[in-house]
Structures are given as structure tokens and as C-alpha cells.
Structure 1
Amino acid sequence: MSNSILESPPDLPVGNGVVLTRYHWKSLFGSMTGYAMDGLDLMVLSYVMSFVIKDLHLTSAQAGSISTITLLGSVIGGYVFGILADIYGRVKIFSYSILIFSVFTGLTAFVHNLFWFDVMRFVAGIGLGGEFGIGMTLVTEVWPKTHRSRATSVVAIGYQLGMIIALVCSMIFVPNFGWQSAFLIGALPALFAWWSRRSLKEPDIWLERRASGSLKGSFPIVKLFDSPKRAGTTIGLIIMTSVQNFGFYGIMTWLPTMLAKQLHFTFNKSLTWTLVTILGMMVGILLFGQISDRWGRKPSYLIFQFGAAIIIWLFFHQTNPTVLLGLGFLMGFLVDGMMGGYGASMAEHYPTEARSTAENVIFNTGRAIGGFGPYVIGYIALTHSLGYAMGLLSAIYILAALAVIFLLPESKNKALV
């Protein structure tokens, strides 16, 4: 009998006595799809913003605040849902976060003024914030340690897949049915929340901790700083995820503008660069998962961080369109490839009763700090060129590399506790 899209491949031996079962694949598919909602949301809002501005009569400042409000909601939601998932279960809270995101994204299609638009975006952001960390936690607790980083890299490319799906759907529906149709599409993941609640079970390691009573009476966030070593690890990971998000948001927000204004790229050339860069990101993420499981976490991060610092500096000293296209692929590969490892790295340094909290608090703190990337680059560009401001990004990857060297312990093949 053939598998449907919601079914999983059969059991697969992968060597050294490790067998990947149907549940491994289900947890991977569920978590990847959950994170795809993040990328879908970003692209939908970006694509329809001009229509929303016209229909709701918004100023540029009011339009800009929508993204900020959504980001604020996602940070708050990441903290809250991360803690709840450690206390009440990964699958249960994961499905609730997707349901909240879906419902309030769909309701956005029915608002007619900025106040209610902001309210819907804020609450949708709360649901959105929980999906990365909980999905990563679920996968890391289910998949074997020898394939942990490879599994989280597949979850991570869900973001880019979500961006592509949103772009294609928006191009098909928005011209014919208006901007509201894009948000109605965003309501469809509610069906996925129903499926995940029925098809996924809580990881055995979490069920064992609950049965032993170790989940009672504890506040998970405290365990992120319960020893000097762990506090240092937490700070190091926050630095790394902040740099990750700062670079991603800064480059994806400003580079098309720089290509158009300073290098006189046409819209089609800028779009081609964007698509090539996204492809580079996806290849980089998947490859990072492979080398992280084979060579270790620290060497993999250092290769990509130093590589990102070099390629960014080179990119912003070029003017040849063909060279920029090739370097754009490499820049996407190196700058975003590290997303393939954060889920595994964060999971391996914290106990089960605080793992989801660690994933969501660390990543969403990094997202909050990194969210200032577009503003900082824009501010520097007021007194210097935009190319100069973008070139400064290379320095922040050296900061991330120093965090890896001095604060991040190696955790390859570490058993979860």
C-alpha cells in the first residue's frame, strides 16, 4: 500500500544497530512542518504588505510596527510555550501553539483596521514562537544520538520550505482573491495540529521523568543557569543565536535594496539572487547536520562562522553580477547553514525537565536581539554606504566563533539526561 503525505517511510536500518522507525519519521515530519509555519508567516506578511498598506491606509511607520509586534509575540510565546512543554508535554503544547498561530492568522483576514490587525498578529506570533524549540526538542529526544544533528537540520529547512510555499501560494491567490486569501491559507495548519495530536506520542524520556516525579515543583528556566559551566554555555548559545539571527535578518532585509540602489540590479536580478541564496541556505543546513554528526559540534560551527566572516567581506567588495550570484549561494550556505545544528546543540546541554525551555528561551532571545539587525544596518547606512554597513556583518561572526571556542563544550554523541 502506498504512503500518503502524512504517512512515514518504513523502518530503515542505518548501521551500528540503529534502526529508524516510523515514529522517527513522523516526529521529524511534524517538527519540520511546524517550523515551516515560521517561514510561511514571514513571507506571507512580506508579500502582502503593500496591499495591506493601501487597504488599511497605513503609514510606513505603522506598517513597520506590524513586523515588530509579531516578533514581540513570538518571543513571549517562545518563553511561555517552552516552559509549558517541559511541564505538560511536548506534543500537547506543540499542537496548541500551532492551533493558536493558525486560528489568529486566519482571523487576520477579517479585520479592517490597524488595531485589530496588530492584535491578531501579536497573538499569532505567540503561537508561532513555540514551534521551533518544541519541535526541535521532540526530534532530539526521539532520534538516535548518532543522527541527532542530521535530524534537526531537516527540521531547520522547514523554514525555507515555508517561505517558498507562502510565496507560491501568495502569487497564485493574492492577485485573484486579495491579500486576505494569504492569511486564510495560513489557517490551514490547524488541520496539521489535529493530525499531530493524534499521531504523535510524548517521547519516552519525558514520560519517564514525569513518572519519577522530577517534573513536579521545578521552574525549568532556573536550570539554564544552575552552575557556572551551564550558565556559560547558556550565554555562549545566546551569543551564537543572536549572531545567527542578526546576520539573517540584516542580509535578507537590506541586501535586495543594496543590489537595486547601489549596483542598479533590476527587480528580476534581485529576485534571482534571493532564490539562489535561499537554495544555498538549504544546502548549507543539510550539510551542516552531516558534518556536525561526523566531526563534532565545535569544529562544524567554527568552519561555518569563519567562512561566513570571510564570504560576507568578499561579497560586499564585488560588483560583477555573475560573481555576486555565486558568492550569494556561498553566503547563504555559510550564514544560515548553522541553523542545522542549534536544535541538537541546545538539547545536549540541558536535562529533560528544562530542554524545551532551553531551546525556546535561547533561540527566541537570540531572535529578539538579532531582530535589531535591520535597524542597526540602516542606522549605520545613514552616515556610510549601505554596502559598508553590510560589510560590518562579517565581524559579528568572529564574536560567535569566540563564544564557541571559550563557552561551548563539545557534545557530539552525548546521551540525553
Structure 2
Amino acid sequence: MSQAQLDTMPVTRAHAKILGTSGLGWAMDAMDVGLMSFIMAALVAHWGITPTQSSWLGSIGFVGMAIGASLGGLLADKFGRRNIFALTLLVYGVATGASAASTSLGMLIALRFVVGLGLGAELPVASTYVSEFAPRQVRGRMVVLLEAFWAVGWILAAVIGTFVVGQSEQGWRWALLIGCAPAAYAFVVRLGLPESVRYLRAKGHHEQADEVIAKIRSSKVLFRPVEREASGAEDIQANSIFAPVLRRRTIALWTVWLCINFAYYGAFLWIPSLLHADGYTLVKSFGFTLIMTIAQLPGYALAALLIERWGRRPTLATMLIGSALSAVAFALASTDWQVVVAGCCLSMMNLGAWGALYAIGPELYPTNLRATGTGQAAAFGRLASIVAPLAVPLIPRGALFFVFSAAFIIAATASFLLPEQRGRMVA
């Protein structure tokens, strides 16, 4: 069977299973990351840790994520998307559970680094995996829907933060115990999902690839995407993401990743603590954050709608510009309703941008470099997520969200240097 059949086949129940199973793993990743914003605020209140110590607690996980993203992509191109996906869930699930038993800040920081290794590796591997299975006409939409599970996980984190972390002095420990669920889920991924067809073919396992395609084709058809003229596949032969033919897109992609990580994690990891510092109670600041988090869902829905109509690049740029304007509105907000509305707009536009970004990445590189390219971009971006929690206490409160707005503008500018890949994937 031809690999091109993957691009033209209808969406089947098998596709839905791949998306849903991968998405649940993605949601667990988001839940773990999101919980830290609440745990940081709780430990400031209950352990009396300083803003600097809180910054390190927030940043150390991103150090692990930067390393994990880089290694995860390389390992996925070598050993397979599914296997590494399952391994990442196991690593961060076990480490999160162990974090609940931390007896000191140093122990918690060390375990958060290990958690970060698994978290960082999972995201680029999962997006590559789903992108390689998705039919051409809905590929971008499917990856945005995968990224939408991030909102589900972050909402779960906000619920757990509000009703578990915020209710008792030991609530953060119970939250981390809940966060060890991915360790068990790793076995569902390993046993329940097929290996990527494109990966199998790239490694010469053609019979296995044909078996996977046959199972997908025999699965119940859910719907047939509306056909439009294909943009044509790029046939790029390269052994490095910095080969001349790929260099421009790599630099532009890395720039977007760097800026969006800085602004997103600088804002959303600190919003509960910033609100608490502004005089809101811990419970009220957590409640506001929960409302802002729910606003992520319409952001993903809008991105999913636009990405196949407008294209990848216009959708990403629009969402980034909207994020910049929302950050300015948040900086100027002075009343409760203004804070909530501006925060909701920032959350909606920012997460829509994330959805478009994850859709773009896997389509930029050939199969032999696809996971590596997305993983290295994510790893470079994580450098900003390391710096952001450390930088926030050093930036004057009045200027903070203007800085985030500038980062979004730089990312939007860089997005125009990316090629438009709607309807095609590099062979």
C-alpha cells in the first residue's frame, strides 16, 4: 500500500483513537505543568519560601524540559514515536508521584527536574506522532485538537489547585499524588497505539507499515474531509535541520518558540502569585486563574477553525498579535472584571497560538528529521521558559506584561518567515 493513502483516506475511528489516546497523555502533561503555578503560591504561603526560591522551583522543571525535548526528538527518530511517547509518560508520572513525599525544597526541586525530562520529551513526540497519521485535509486541525487537550489538563490543574491545593497546608502533596497517573497510562499508550507508518517506512519496515494502514482503512469511517487541491509535497533531502534548504525555517521556528515560551510561562506560572501579591486571597486568586484557564478552550476552537481556512502562518500570526494586545490590556487592568476579562483574552489568544505552532512544526521537516526538528525547536524554546520564572521578580510589576507583549510581537514577526504548509508535508 502507498504511504500517500495516509494523506487521502477519510477520518476513521482509528484516527480518533490515536488523537484521543495521545490527547489524554498531553492533558496529563499540562496538568502537571499547571499544578506548579498553584503549588508555588501555596509554598510561599505555607512554607514561607522566597520569590527567588519560588522562581527556581518554577524554572528547574523547564531545565529538564529543555533537555527532554532535545533528547525526545532524537530518540523518537531513532527508536520510534510510540515507544518514546510511552517512556516519557512513565518517567514524569513516577517522578511526580515521588515529589509528593518531598521533605525539603531541595528534594522537590531535584524531582521537578526529572519530571521536566519526561514532560519536555513528550510534547514534540506526540505532535509528530499525530501529524504523521492525520489525513492531509485535516492535519493542522487534528494537531490543534491535540494541543486543545492542554487546556483540559490546565483546567484540571486549576480545579485541583482551587479545591485541593488551596484547601489545606498539605494539599499540594495530594495534588502531586494525583499527578502520578501518567505512569499507569504509559502502558495504555504502549499497548494500545500503533507505531507511526511514516517512521516504519523510513526504517524499511514496509510490511508492518502496510498492516497499520490496512487496520486504519478497515476502521469505521467517521467523516470524509472536503477535498481541495493539494499544494504538492516538498521533496527535501537533508541530514541536518540547519542544512541550507531548512535553515531559514529552523531559525524562524526557534524564534517563535523562544518568545512564546517566555511570555506564556512568565505570565501563567506567576498569575496566581501575582494576584495574591496584589492583595487577593489565595482562594480568590486561584478562582480567577481557573476562569482564565477555561478561556483556553475557545482559543483552540478558533485556531482549529482558522488553520485549515486561512492557513498555518496567518492563524499563528493573528493569534500572536491578539496575545500582544491582550497582554497590554492585562497590564492596564485595574478592577476585578478587567483583570478577569483581559486574562481570559490573553489565555484564549495565547493558547490558540500554541495550537497553530504545534501544527506547523512537524510539517516543516522530512521524515528522518521531523521529530528531531520539532524537538530541537521545543528545546530551544524551553530556554526562555527557564528564564521567565526567574526574570518575573526582577521586572517592575508595571512593565511586566508590556515585556510579554513585546515578546509576542517578535514571535508574530518571525512567523511570517515560515513557509505556508497547508495541504502538504515534506516527504
Please indicate the TM-score interval, normalised by the length of the shorter structure: 0.7 to 0.9
* Percentage identity across paired residues of the two chains: 30
The normalised TM-score by structure 1 is 0.83
Cα shift at 1:107: 2.0
Cα shift at 1:343: 2.0
| Counterpart for residue 299 of structure 2 | 284
Aligned length: 389
| Counterpart for residue 88 of structure 1 | 79
SS at match of 2:10: strand
Cα shift at 1:181: 2.7
| Counterpart for residue 406 of structure 2 | 395
| Counterpart for residue 220 of structure 2 | none
Moved more, 172-181 or 40-49: 172-181
SS at match of 2:308: helix
SS at match of 1:414: coil
The reply to whether residue 198 of structure 1 matches residue 183 of structure 2 is no
Q: Supply the AA of the counterpart residue of 2:84.
A: I
The reply to whether residue 362 of structure 1 matches residue 377 of structure 2 is yes
Cα shift at 1:101: 1.0
| Counterpart for residue 148 of structure 1 | 139
| Counterpart for residue 4 of structure 1 | none
1:180-191 aligned within 5 A: 180-191=173-184
The normalised TM-score by structure 2 is 0.82
Higher RCO (CA-CA < 8 Å; seq separation 6+): 2
Cα shift at 1:404: 1.8
The reply to whether residue 303 of structure 1 matches residue 318 of structure 2 is yes
Any idea what the Cα deviations from partners look like across 1:103-143, whole Å, max 9, x if unmatched? 12222233434444333222222111111011101100001
Cα shift at 1:154: 1.7
Any idea what the Cα deviations from partners look like across 1:297-342, whole Å, max 9, x if unmatched? 1211222222222332234234343344333322222222111112
Q: Supply the AA of the counterpart residue of 2:242.
A: F
| Counterpart for residue 414 of structure 1 | 424
SS at match of 2:103: coil
Cα shift at 1:53: 6.9
Give yes or no for contact 1:90–1:202 (8 Å, CA) kept in 2. Answer: yes
The CA RMSD over aligned residues, in Å, is 2.9
| Counterpart for residue 112 of structure 1 | 103
| Counterpart for residue 21 of structure 1 | 12
Give yes or no for contact 1:288–1:338 (8 Å, CA) kept in 2. Answer: yes
Q: Supply the AA of the counterpart residue of 2:109.
A: D
Q: Supply the AA of the counterpart residue of 2:347.
A: G
Question: CA 1:413/1:160 → structure 2, altered by over 3 Å: closer, same or farther?
Answer: same
The reply to whether residue 234 of structure 1 matches residue 250 of structure 2 is yes
Give yes or no for contact 1:105–1:184 (8 Å, CA) kept in 2. Answer: yes
Any idea what the Cα deviations from partners look like across 1:14-37, whole Å, max 9, x if unmatched? xx9752122211221222122223
Any idea what the Cα deviations from partners look like across 1:334-376, whole Å, max 9, x if unmatched? 2221111122211111011111111221023112224323443
The reply to whether residue 70 of structure 1 matches residue 61 of structure 2 is yes
**What is the CA–CA distance in structure 2 between the aligned matches of 1:278 and 1:209, rounded to whole Å?**
40
| Counterpart for residue 325 of structure 1 | 340
Any idea what the Cα deviations from partners look like across 1:163-212, whole Å, max 9, x if unmatched? 22234345555657754332222222122110111110112111111007
**What is the CA–CA distance in structure 2 between the aligned matches of 1:269 and 1:110, rounded to whole Å?**
27
**What is the CA–CA distance in structure 2 between the aligned matches of 1:327 and 1:55, rounded to whole Å?**
29
Give yes or no for contact 1:285–1:340 (8 Å, CA) kept in 2. Answer: yes
Give yes or no for contact 1:105–1:121 (8 Å, CA) kept in 2. Answer: yes
SS at match of 1:413: coil
Moved more, 161-170 or 357-366: 161-170
SS at match of 2:364: coil
Residue number among 259, 264, 269 corresponding to 1:243 in the alignment: 259
| Counterpart for residue 240 of structure 2 | 223
Moved more, 43-52 or 389-398: 43-52
| Counterpart for residue 221 of structure 2 | none
Give yes or no for contact 1:223–1:354 (8 Å, CA) kept in 2. Answer: yes
Give yes or no for contact 2:38–2:161 (8 Å, CA) kept in 1. Answer: yes
Q: Supply the AA of the counterpart residue of 2:267.
A: I
Cα shift at 1:56: 7.7
Question: CA 1:65/1:260 → structure 2, altered by over 3 Å: closer, same or farther?
Answer: closer
Give yes or no for contact 1:347–1:359 (8 Å, CA) kept in 2. Answer: yes
1:38-57 aligned within 5 A: 38-49=29-40
**What is the CA–CA distance in structure 2 between the aligned matches of 1:374 and 1:60, rounded to whole Å?**
10
**What is the CA–CA distance in structure 1 between the aligned matches of 2:287 and 2:89, rounded to whole Å?**
32
SS at match of 1:348: helix
| Counterpart for residue 217 of structure 1 | none
Question: CA 1:322/1:413 → structure 2, altered by over 3 Å: closer, same or farther?
Answer: same
